């Protein structure tokens, strides 16, 4: 007769299972975006936030952050001690953030033209009026950086002193796997937008995860099992999972434009992109430029980010590469210890 030996779970194993149950079932989600702020302007779904400095304001040039059209912008203010916005306000900067909000079906016709021509200029006017400043620093992240570069190129007469871009794609000659997946011969862009209106966040998120399917799908859960007894790790894991799963739809016409005119036709770097009837010439950018790429970024590859520095007219023209990924350029240990201070120092040095 065959017998099978069963092992009784160890006390350590039972303790880990109990802790995992607490993490996934019992504990509330951590609170994000805790730096004090106020809404100073709204338009449609968009809100302009002002973050009051934690110390006396010492920098005369306010910072306006332009976020992307996907996910939510609290990644820039994730948690106390792990927040780019908090770091800047603690250093006395006057920080503003343009949050595009959550588009509804009625916003499916919104284009990049609308955001860049109708929203950003009004936000800048409000920032200058509110801060009583004569110049401004634009800080764009991901697609928000691409939009900031376009806006600055279209408006060389505006008092944009500094332009700071974080992992923002400019050249789409080689966008890695996205170049293959979005090939106009196979990707039915028009049918997708015409059918859905806005593009669901889940569809965009699935595409991003396919860039590294094992590490992004299973890796986070393997890591939490291994380190569930580390309270600090658990907190940061829950914060990131909250943000990663808290996305917003991409307005349909803006998505159509993003895929066709950027990924498929690469109009921006080639000087062929037209916004509201005006051609975008990146050589019109004269502001002090800090352009940051991440070596392990598979969403905005370094070779998509770096070409901007070769075409602008900025006298102060800096390209900075960091050994990190697309998201960890703004949150995480390396961001806290190295990248946040580097950004703050650069802004301060170029604001006097």
pLDDT of amino acid 52: 84
> What is d(CA 89, CA 36) in angstroms, rounded to the nearest whole number?
10
* pTM for this model (two decimals): 0.90
pLDDT of amino acid 213: 56
pLDDT of amino acid 219: 57
pLDDT of amino acid 238: 87
More confident residue, 16 or 68: 68
pLDDT of amino acid 11: 67
- Dihedral (Cα; 324, 328, 331, 337), 10-degree rounding: -10
Q: Please give the structure tokens belonging to residue 97.
A: 């953030």
Q: Which of 87, 93, 326, 340 is catalytic?
A: 326
* Residue 174 a catalytic site member: no
The number of CA neighbours under 13 Å toward the Cβ of 167 is: 23
3-state secondary structure of 5: coil
229 pLDDT more than 90:
no
7 pLDDT more than 90:
no
Segment 205-217 shows an average pLDDT of 65
Question: What structural domains and CATH numbers belong to the chain?
Answer: 30-349 (3.40.50.1820)
Helix/strand/coil (H/E/C) assignment for every residue in 223-237: HHHHCCCCHHHHHHH
More confident residue, 101 or 27: 101
Q: Which of 77, 94, 142, 171 is catalytic?
A: 142
Segment 48-59 shows an average pLDDT of 86
Percent of the residues in the chain that have a pLDDT greater than 70, as a whole number: 92
Q: How confident is the model at residue 56 (pLDDT cuts 50, 70, 90)?
A: confident
Lowest mean pLDDT among 1-5, 6-10, 86-90, 98-102: 1-5
3-state secondary structure of 122: helix
Q: How confident is the model at residue 9 (pLDDT cuts 50, 70, 90)?
A: low
147 pLDDT more than 90:
yes
pLDDT of amino acid 4: 53
> What is d(CA 180, CA 127) in angstroms, rounded to the nearest whole number?
41
Q: How confident is the model at residue 227 (pLDDT cuts 50, 70, 90)?
A: confident
3-state secondary structure of 281: coil
283 pLDDT more than 70:
yes
Q: How confident is the model at residue 10 (pLDDT cuts 50, 70, 90)?
A: low
Percent of the residues in the chain that have a pLDDT greater than 90, as a whole number: 74
* Residue 326 a catalytic site member: yes
More confident residue, 52 or 282: 282
Specify whether the CB–CB gap between 60 and 351 falls below 8 A: yes
* Residue 297 a catalytic site member: yes
């Amino acid at each position: 007769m065959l017998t099978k030996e069963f092992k009784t779970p160890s006390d350590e194993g039972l303790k880990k299972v109990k802790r995992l149950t607490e993490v996934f079932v019992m504990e509330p989600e951590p609170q994000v975006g805790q730096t004090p702020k106020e809404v100073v302007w709204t338009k449609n779904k968009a809100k302009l936030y002002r973050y009051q400095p934690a110390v006396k304001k010492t920098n005369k040039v306010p910072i306006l952050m332009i976020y992307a059209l996907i996910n939510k912008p609290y990644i820039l203010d994730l948690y106390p001690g792990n927040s780019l916005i908090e770091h800047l306000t603690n250093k006395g900067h006057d920080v503003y953030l343009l949050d595009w909000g959550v588009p509804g079906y009625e916003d499916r016709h919104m284009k990049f033209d609308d955001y860049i021509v109708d929203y950003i200029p009004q936000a800048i006017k409000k920032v200058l009026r509110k801060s009583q400043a004569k110049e401004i620093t634009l800080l764009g992240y991901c697609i928000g950086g691409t939009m900031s570069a376009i806006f600055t190129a279209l408006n060389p007469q505006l008092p944009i002193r500094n332009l700071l871009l974080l992992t923002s794609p400019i050249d789409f000659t080689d966008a890695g796997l996205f170049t293959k997946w979005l090939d106009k011969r196979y990707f039915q862009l028009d049918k997708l937008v015409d059918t859905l209106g806005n593009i669901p966040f889940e569809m965009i998120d699935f595409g991003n995860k396919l860039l590294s399917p094992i590490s992004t799908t299973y890796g986070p859960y393997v890591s939490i099992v291994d380190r569930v007894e580390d309270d600090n790790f658990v907190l940061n894991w829950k914060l990131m999972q909250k943000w990663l799963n808290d996305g917003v739809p991409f307005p349909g016409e803006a998505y159509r434009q993003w895929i066709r005119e950027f990924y498929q036709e690469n109009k921006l770097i080639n000087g062929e992109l037209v916004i509201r009837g005006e051609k975008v010439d990146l050589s019109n950018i004269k502001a002090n430029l800090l352009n940051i790429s991440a070596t392990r970024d598979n969403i905005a590859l370094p070779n998509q980010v770096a070409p901007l520095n070769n075409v602008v007219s900025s006298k102060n023209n800096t390209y900075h590469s960091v050994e990190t990924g697309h998201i960890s350029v703004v949150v995480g240990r390396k961001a806290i210890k190295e990248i946040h201070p580097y950004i703050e120092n650069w802004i301060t040095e170029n604001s006097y």
